Amino acid sequence: MSDAKKKKKKPEGPNKLKIKERMKLPRQDMPAQNPSDRVKNFNEVPYGLNDEQAFQEALRCLECPNQPCVDGCPVEVDIPGFIRLILEKDVAGAARKIKETNSLPAICGRVCPQEEQCEIVCVIGKKGKPVAIGYLERYVADYEREHKLVQLPKIAPPTGRKVAIVGSGPAGLTVAGDLIKLGHAVTIFEALHKPGGVLVYGIPEFRLPKSIVQAECDFMADMGVEFQNSTVIGKMDTIDELFEMGYDAIFIGTGAGLPRFMGIEGENLIGIYSANEYLTRSNLMRAFDPDEYDTPIIRGKNVAVLGGGNTAMDSVRTGLRLGAENAHIVYRRSEIEMPARIEEVHHAKEEGVQFHLLTNPIKFIGDDQNRVKAMECLKMELGEPDDSGRRRPVPIKGSNYIIKTDLVVVAIGNASNPLIPQTTPGLDCNKWGNIIVNDETMQTSRKGVYAGGDIVTGGATVILAAGAGKKAARAMHKYLMEEVKR
């Protein structure tokens, strides 16, 4: 058949629109709470697409034969495949299609940086706006959950092998979900009193409702995963003791939860929190709900948050919702270098956050009761690129100025927690304390011990942690079946 004839061929499948017609369809906007209302509550900001909007958005997909969006997804979700199922009105089938490679679609649909992954390579985005893949992922996962269509998968007969997972963030949950389906007995040991990792203690309710994370954990429990919360491995039992207790293989998914500080004068003043402590108090310990919980938290009128990542945006927007009149982001590079998702920066701006870019604090100033009252900053300019590939901020001499603040949140990144490496002989780590693994299998230097997520990469993303969990689960299954005798 000639090329011309091929072009004229009617599209197959449920989408009867011609390619040209699909390209003319506008991208659907996600309806969201009004900024002036939402800064007074902790409810989720975007409402999600309705059925008609999701259908219209799905019609935009060109069903590209080479599927660049699938290559752009770290876990290779069959994106055109699940979009096609939306058009066939099989929304639960679409959710199941995503779950073939991503166990946490309701979470990833909300927090993944699609603009840097699947959507940036979407063909339709070259001329207009890309297909809203993240919105559609959220839509199908919410539809499946809200219509009670989530089905328990088939669980293989028991293998007699026992697996311990340390840490219940996206990496640990993914390993648990994959290994329980294969018939292994799985126990998750979690230091906090609730499972979910950063998804519960870090990311605020207005971005990721905790009921969604709980639903994922409940689903794991329904499949047979046992959760042992409030259990700090390395303090209560070590990795070696877990082996002695009869576990055949262990996955370490303990994340990067050790806060970094500026190391400047005045950092011990009252009113200066690490983002970890601030967000944990607000989210996990529910300080945002003072009618029900009496968790203490400082509610500043002038909040200054140091950093430019998602953690910084979450902290500053939490500060506003806890009653701040002025909320500042202080970041030493420019907006282009900000690691936060574009949507988070956009939402923060809409909510009235003031951005002090190319600005670095050099000293905190306290009052006579040792409470922070201001911070001295220096303006910066960008020099040559540093190790991270981003242009290095260089101080401008004599540019000092003062920002008035009564609450500072330091959100400049986290390091890995040293507890497990310190209590596990023979577990190799790099100079930053991240566990070293084989990239293909996620196996550590210890036999039968695997690791993945932020504890290996340093602070990264939910989907990368989940992807590492998938790889580890595959290798652990092979190890359990081939090398552990029963």
Residue that has been written with the tokens 């920002």 in this structure: 403
Smallest distance from ligand SF4 to CB 69, Å: 3
Contact (Cβ atoms closer than 8 angstroms) between residue 392 and residue 382: yes
Contacting range for ligand SF4; rule: CB under 6 A; set: 13-21, 64-72, 92-100, 147-155: 64-72
Q: Please choose, out of 14-22, 165-173, 215-223, 390-398, the segment that lies near ligand FAD by the rule CB under 6 A.
A: 165-173
By C-alpha distance, which of 248, 103, 107, 106 is closest to 187?
248
Does residue 122 bind ligand SF4 (CB under 6 A)? yes
Other CB atoms within a 10 A radius of the CB of residue 188 amount to 26
Q: Would you say 63 or 265 has its CB closer to ligand SF4?
A: 63
What is the C-alpha separation between 384 and 408, in angstroms, rounded? 29
Residue 259, number of CB atoms within 10 A of its CB: 18
CB of 428 closer than 8 Å to CB of 436: yes
Q: Does 75 bind ligand SF4 (CB under 6 A)?
A: no
CB of residue 129 to ligand SF4, shortest distance in Å = 11
Part of the chain binding ligand SF4 (CB under 6 A), chosen from 45-53, 63-71, 104-112, 270-278: 63-71
Q: Is-contact 247 447, C-beta < 8 A?
A: no
Pairing of strands 401-404, 372-385: antiparallel
- Answer with the entry of ligand FAD, ligand SF4, none that 69 interacts with (C-beta below 5 to 8 A by kind): ligand SF4
Q: Are 362 and 263 in contact (CB under 8 A)?
A: no
Nearer Cβ to ligand FAD (107/374): 107
Site for ligand SF4 (CB under 6 A): which residue of 14, 68, 224, 458? Answer: 68
For 379, residues 6+ apart whose C-beta sits below 8 A from its C-beta are 358, 359, 395, 396, 399, 401
Total residues in contact with ligand FAD, by rule CB under 6 A: 41
DSSP 337-350: G--S-HHHHHHHHH
* 254 interacts with ligand FAD by CB under 6 A: yes
Instruction: Determine the interface stretch with ligand FAD among 53-61, 77-85, 249-257, 440-448 (rule: CB under 6 A).
Output: 249-257
Q: Does 61 bind ligand SF4 (CB under 6 A)?
A: yes
117 near ligand SF4, rule: CB under 6 A: no
Identify which of residues 123 and 481 has a Cβ nearer to ligand SF4 in the complex: 123
**For residues 388-427, which are near ligand FAD according to CB under 6 A?**
417, 419-420
Q: What is the DSSP letter of 313?
A: H
3-class DSSP assignment, residue 80: helix
CA distance 275 to 422: 25
Joined together, the tokens standing for residue 485 give 């005798």
* 3-state secondary structure at position 73: coil
Map tokens 């990833």 to a residue.
108
Burial class (CB in 10 A: 0-12, 13-18, 19+), 107: buried
* String of contacts with ligand FAD for each residue 270-289, x by CB under 6 A: ---------x----------
Q: Measuring CA to CA, how many Å separate 6 from each of 3, 24, 63?
A: 5, 21, 15
In the complex with ligand SF4, the residue whose CB is nearer, 73 or 191, is 73
Question: By three-state DSSP, how is residue 355 classified?
Answer: strand
Among ligand FAD, ligand SF4, none, the one that 75 touches (CB under a kind-dependent 5 to 8 A) is none
**H or E element that contains 177:** helix 170-181
By CB under 6 A, the count of residues binding ligand SF4 is: 14
- With CB under 5 to 8 Å by kind, the binding choice for 170 among ligand SF4, ligand FAD, none is ligand FAD
Contact residue for ligand SF4 among 73, 94, 124, 225 (CB under 6 A)? 124
Q: How far is the CB of 112 from ligand SF4 (least distance, A)?
A: 14
Instruction: Please identify which residue in 15, 53, 67, 443 interacts with ligand SF4, judged by CB under 6 A.
Output: 67
Q: Are strands 326-330 and 391-395 parallel, antiparallel or unpaired?
A: unpaired
- Backbone phi and psi for residue 457, each to the nearest 5 degrees, phi listed first: -95, -15
- Contact partner at residue 79 from ligand SF4, ligand FAD, none, CB < 5 to 8 Å by partner kind: ligand SF4
Write the binding mask 191 to 220 for ligand FAD: x where contact by CB under 6 A, - elsewhere.
xx----xx---xx-----------------
Shortest distance (Å) from residue 33 CB to ligand FAD: 18
Q: How far is the CB of 180 from ligand FAD (least distance, A)?
A: 17
Q: How many helices and strands, by DSSP H and E, does the chain display?
A: 19, 16
Catalog residues that contact ligand SF4 under the rule CB under 6 A: 61-64, 67-69, 79-80, 122-124, 131, 133
Catalog residues that contact ligand FAD under the rule CB under 6 A: 111-112, 166-172, 189-192, 197-198, 202-203, 232-234, 253-255, 257, 279, 310-311, 314, 341, 417, 419-420, 453-455, 459-463, 465
